[in-house]
Structure 1
């Protein structure tokens, strides 16, 4: 059992999740309220480089990264980063998903969106269904979506990349972080 999340998330919070697996394994959950979704999505779209369908931090110029981080701050986005040092990515992902689902059940979150990866979506669904059953929590609706479909996934990508990168990039997103959970 993981420690309890010490902060209270706003009512009607939704989580948007992406990963970074460059060093340790990072699962970043960007948090927005249902009431703010349309506004936040529109603002995040203004952070794209002209001619692109989405923001992917690994390939963006520093100026785009800085502008996007500013937009996330202006939108009052927050995030939780789940970290695992397990060498095998499937083990690390499962540990991070478990910790996140424990937080979701404790905070009574009802909506979760995970960036789709066809190679692991089926495993995710199995892990999520089993863990929710163990937690006796049936109120969560979750979905896998493509990065082109959901701008809030760009925010979780940015947070995971910056946290993994460390240094100045990690410092830039630290004001957004509600917690870092080690799984």
Structure 2
């Protein structure tokens, strides 16, 4: 496994308790993005994302935004104290499992104690089984739960970065300063 590492402010601090917010994209390669936020900054980060919502909008779904709006959202996200871990796998039947197998020990090593995954009903049971096994295998104390995107606004950060990596080009360049790519 190789890691293209770009440390962000949260990683430079050292032993800080972290939370991670996870979403996926599977156009082309299978991509799982985990936005990592210091626990003491989570409420402020949520408030910052809430300010990016348009009137009446309950969540940001990057795929449905215009390019101008995407640029505006990314400018807002760039101001947050966070990093994003991007796990790549060849798209296929086991791609999500491959990404989770890389993600759990990586996030545990960083100091992540709480993991929030965007809820996709067909995946919840398999995720719970996999996460139970992986946290035991790697002896990490990681609380995890599945929430819908509107239930935790920080899930939109992972959604945005995963979308940008899928699109590539200028979009990937835009998020690369605070992203770390983890490949097989």
TM-score, normalised via structure 1 length: 0.91
Matches of 1:39 and 1:108 in 2, distance apart?
20
| Equivalences for residues 56-135 of structure 1 within 5 A | 56-88=61-93, 91-135=94-138
Alignment correspondent of 2:182? 181
8 Å CA contact 2:37, 2:83 repeated in 1:
yes
Q: CA deviation at 1:154?
A: 0.4
Give the secondary-structure state (helix, strand or coil) at the position aligned to 2:158.
helix
Q: Partner residue of 1:159?
A: 161
Instruction: Quote the residue 1:37 is aligned against.
Output: 42
* Structure 1 residue runs without a partner (length 5+): none
Contact 2:20–2:34, Cα closer than 8 Å, also in 1: yes
**Are 2:18 and 2:111, in contact at CA under 8 Å, matched by a contact in 1?**
no
Aligned mates of 1:176, 1:58 — CA distance in 2: 20
Q: Check 1:129–1:5 CA distance in 2 against 1; reply closer, same or farther (3 A cut).
A: farther
Unmatched 5+ residue regions in structure 2? none
Using the size of structure 2 for normalisation, the TM-score is 0.90
The 2-side partners of 1:4 and 1:76 are apart by: 21
Equivalence for 2:142: 140
